[in-house]
Amino acid sequence: MNSPELLPILCYPDPRLHTVAKPVAEVDDDIRALIPRMLATMYDANGIGLAATQVDVHLRLIVIDVSETRDQPMVLINPELEWASDEKRKGEEGCLSVPGIYDGVERSIAVRVRALDGEGHSRVIEAEGMLAVCIQHEMDHLLGKVFVEYLSMLKRNRIKSKLVKARREAERA
Ligand code: NI
């Protein structure tokens, strides 16, 4: 069996990362074909989550795998936050769209989310720890929000110029 073709990941500050995703109308063949490609792209990049927004597909679809063994893929289609704990904690985050940058973001320590799985069945996911953080981070992507937007304007501008410079150098090389 051929491995799924990888998808290019948009890099901050690409304006397409700020697109608000539309709900998936139906888990059809196109969606079923996209899921393995998103998972392969996430695993290839050593990420724990990837939102469709990051591969320039503006639909409410997320793939996640926070397992150490990298064999527990989760698919969340049209995720809706049902509950988030008032208790929050600041933890270090990174993002495949913001390569090499890690910084602290405050998130609820537990969430409950309703979503369709890859077969289109409705599921409720109760998450805490890294999974809870990852779900919140990826759901932000679907709203066009990148984690660096939680940081100060000064930090964000530094990150922007660093990534723009790195891209220019990569293009010249
Ligand atoms: Ni991200």
Q: pLDDT tens digit string along 114-132? A: 999 999 999 999 999 999 9
Phi, psi for residue 129 in degrees, rounded to 5: 60, -140
Let me know how long the chain is: 173
Q: How sure is the predictor about 153, in pLDDT bands with cuts at 50, 70 and 90? A: very high
How remote is the CA of residue 93 from the centroid of ligand 1, in Å? 9
Annotated active-site positions, please?
138
Query: Environment class of residue 2 by beta-carbon count within 10 Å: exposed (0-12), middle (13-18) or buried (19+)?
Result: exposed
pLDDT at 28 over 70: yes
How remote is the CA of residue 9 from the centroid of ligand 1, in Å? 10
**What does the pLDDT read at residue 1?**
56
Q: How sure is the predictor about 2, in pLDDT bands with cuts at 50, 70 and 90? A: confident
**What does the pLDDT read at residue 141?**
98
At position 14, the amino acid (one-letter code) is: D
How remote is the CA of residue 54 from the centroid of ligand 1, in Å? 8
